[in-house]
């Protein structure tokens, strides 16, 4: 968050405190205004949430592990289809199982592995995110040294996700960007923690295998996602390294652009195998070649553009709402001259903040274009 954005949020907090001072049992308008400003604060501060979707073994976990620079998720299909994994910022590593009724059970793990070079010490352990998926209401604490195959139980039924695994990690990127790995599209109307988490998604990333990209089953799954969730979407064609002939890459992209016209803002080929190898490579020249071959930088730029666009959209929406609140305050009656003076001051302050946010919003997209 930039200095100007932080200043706008501080100004917004001060305006809300002034509104709270004006509130009384008889002044309902000020209470409503204070609640509305509080809601705007929440949405401006909330990290952008991305959902990573796709069929089995399409590279979802590889993408998340690369973005986080940690081996958080196993790259095999250990996890059940009725479980969704939310990864967000926390001061200390923690894992919670949230069942269908919303009951949270904390599990323990100290084995979050980090991507590091060969000479790093201590050598990071393999990923051991822990959760018990075979029973909705039972989540015993499992040793962090247990093998991943015992921790990730496979569900026999494919259904809308009912269980949520809430993972908190002290990784800087998570302060601005929360991530959800989705195995089965949640029912948008269901009152489950998994569905509620998915309803807050801002950006969808669909992972598809380069060797069999965008099958009919994938198209059907994508159409199940509510249109409001698909407004900002990116398709990643994974396992680019499996394409034998470089000439085939252009053919694959051309076919996908035709097949997915208007469904995604962009389509990118990527090899996370090469991207991770580049991170771990000690030879700078070889590391650079691997990164270039992976095309991961183009993926990161495309994702950054979508994130900035969503942030700019939030600011523009907040600006409109603040102008509406200010207009209503200008026509309200505070009951005394002193209160009326304060009411006018709050209204003017909200209008100034609205203008400030509107001025900030276009620059978010311009930053990406400049990059």
Q: Which residues pair with 53 in a beta bridge?
A: 206
Q: What is the number of alpha carbons within 13 Å of residue 244 lying toward its C-beta? A: 0
Note the pLDDT tens digit of each residue in 313-355: 999 999 999 999 999 888 877 667 788 888 889 999 999 999 9
Assign 105 a pLDDT band (cuts: 50, 70, 90). Answer: confident
Q: Which residue has the higher pLDDT, 209 or 160?
A: 209
Are both 157 and 115 inside the same structural domain? yes
Q: Which residues contact 17 (CB under 8 A, 6 or more apart)?
A: none
Are both 142 and 39 inside the same structural domain? no
Are both 204 and 256 inside the same structural domain? yes
Are both 195 and 276 inside the same structural domain? yes
> CB–CB of 6/44 below 8 Å?
no
In angstroms, the CA 299 to CA 288 distance is 16
Are both 339 and 258 inside the same structural domain? no
Is 305 among the domain residues? no
In angstroms, the CA 284 to CA 292 distance is 12
Assign 8 a pLDDT band (cuts: 50, 70, 90). Answer: confident
Last residue of a domain, which of 270, 294, 318?
294
In angstroms, the CA 326 to CA 358 distance is 15
Is 271 among the domain residues? yes
- Which tokens in the block code for residue 154? 């496979």
Q: Which residue has the higher pLDDT, 370 or 4?
A: 4
State the greatest distance between any 2 C-alpha atoms of the chain, in Å, as a whole number.
78
Is 142 among the domain residues? yes
Sign of the torsion formed by the C-alpha atoms of 368, 179, 242 and 235: negative
In angstroms, the CA 82 to CA 366 distance is 40
Sheet-wide strand order for 177-181? 104-107, 94-98, 163-169, 83-89, 177-181, 48-54, 203-209, 233-238, 266-269
Are both 278 and 193 inside the same structural domain? yes
The residue among 298, 221, 213 whose CA lies nearest residue 259 is 213
CATH of residue 356's domain is 1.20.120
Note the pLDDT tens digit of each residue in 37-50: 999 999 999 999 99
pLDDT, the chain, mean: 79
Assign 303 a pLDDT band (cuts: 50, 70, 90). Answer: very high
In angstroms, the CA 291 to CA 274 distance is 7
Note the pLDDT tens digit of each residue in 291-300: 999 999 999 9
In angstroms, the CA 281 to CA 285 distance is 9
Is 304 among the domain residues? no
- Which pLDDT does position 273 carry in this prediction? 87
Structural domain including 102 reads 47-294
Tell me how many helices (H) and strands (E) the chain has: 11, 11
Q: Residue 272's CB: how many other CB atoms inside 10 A?
A: 25
Are both 333 and 185 inside the same structural domain? no
Are both 52 and 34 inside the same structural domain? no
Tell me 90's DSSP state.
-
Assign 139 a pLDDT band (cuts: 50, 70, 90). Answer: very low
CATH of residue 98's domain is 3.40.50.300
Are both 11 and 80 inside the same structural domain? no
Q: Is the pLDDT confidence value at 154 over 80?
A: no
Q: Residue 13's CB: how many other CB atoms inside 10 A?
A: 13
In angstroms, the CA 238 to CA 59 distance is 6
CA distances from 367 to 49, 200, 201 (A): 20, 25, 23
Beta strands in the chain (DSSP E): 48-54, 70-71, 83-89, 94-98, 104-107, 113-114, 163-169, 177-181, 203-209, 233-238, 266-269
Is 35 among the domain residues? yes
Distance of CA 259 to the CA centre of its chain: 26
Last residue of a domain, which of 294, 327, 359?
294
pTM assigned to the model: 0.81
Last residue of a domain, which of 294, 324, 359?
294
Are both 22 and 64 inside the same structural domain? no
Are both 133 and 183 inside the same structural domain? yes
Is 302 among the domain residues? no
Are both 286 and 322 inside the same structural domain? no
> CB–CB of 257/235 below 8 Å?
no
- Which pLDDT does position 371 carry in this prediction? 44
- Which tokens in the block code for residue 110? 């100290």
Is 303 among the domain residues? no
- Which tokens in the block code for residue 334? 């505070």
Tell me 221's DSSP state.
H
**Domain count of the fold of the chain:** 2
Is 332 among the domain residues? yes
Q: What share of the chain is helix, strand, coil (3-state, %, to 5)?
A: 50, 15, 35
């Amino acid at each position: 968050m930039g200095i100007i954005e932080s200043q706008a949020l501080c100004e917004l907090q001060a305006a809300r405190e002034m509104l709270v001072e004006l509130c009384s049992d008889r002044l309902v308008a000020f209470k409503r205004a204070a609640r509305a400003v509080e809601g705007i604060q929440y949405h401006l501060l909330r990290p952008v949430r991305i959902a990573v979707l796709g069929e089995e073994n399409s590279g979802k976990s590889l993408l998340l592990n690369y973005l986080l620079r940690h081996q958080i998720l196993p790259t095999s299909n250990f996890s059940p289809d009725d479980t969704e994994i939310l990864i967000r910022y926390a001061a200390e590593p923690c894992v919670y199982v949230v069942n269908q009724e919303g009951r949270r059970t904390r599990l323990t793990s100290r084995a979050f592995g980090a991507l590091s070079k060969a000479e790093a010490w201590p050598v990071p352990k393999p990923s051991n995110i822990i959760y018990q998926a075979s029973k909705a209401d039972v989540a015993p604490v499992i040793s962090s040294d247990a093998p991943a195959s015992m921790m990730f139980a496979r569900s026999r039924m494919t259904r809308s996700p009912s269980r949520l695994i809430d993972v908190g990690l002290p990784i800087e990127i998570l302060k601005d960007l929360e991530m959800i790995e989705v195995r089965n599209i949640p029912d948008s109307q269901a009152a489950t923690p998994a569905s509620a988490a998915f309803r807050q998604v801002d950006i969808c990333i669909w992972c598809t295998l380069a060797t069999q990209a965008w099958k009919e089953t994938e198209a059907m799954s994508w159409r199940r996602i509510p249109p409001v969730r698909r407004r900002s979407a990116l398709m990643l064609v994974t396992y680019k390294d499996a394409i034998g002939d470089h000439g085939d890459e252009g053919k694959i992209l051309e076919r996908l652009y035709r097949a997915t016209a208007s469904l995604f803002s962009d389509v990118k080929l990527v090899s996370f195998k090469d991207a991770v190898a580049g991170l771990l490579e000690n030879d700078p020249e070889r590391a650079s070649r691997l990164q270039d071959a992976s095309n991961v930088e183009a993926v990161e730029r495309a994702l950054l553009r979508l994130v900035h666009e969503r942030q700019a959209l939030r600011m523009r929406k907040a600006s409109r709402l603040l102008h509406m609140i200010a207009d209503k305050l200008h026509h309200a009656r505070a009951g005394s001259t002193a209160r009326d003076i304060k009411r006018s001051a709050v209204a003017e302050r909200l209008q100034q903040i609205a203008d400030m946010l509107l001025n900030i919003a276009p620059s978010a997209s311009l930053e990406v274009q400049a990059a």
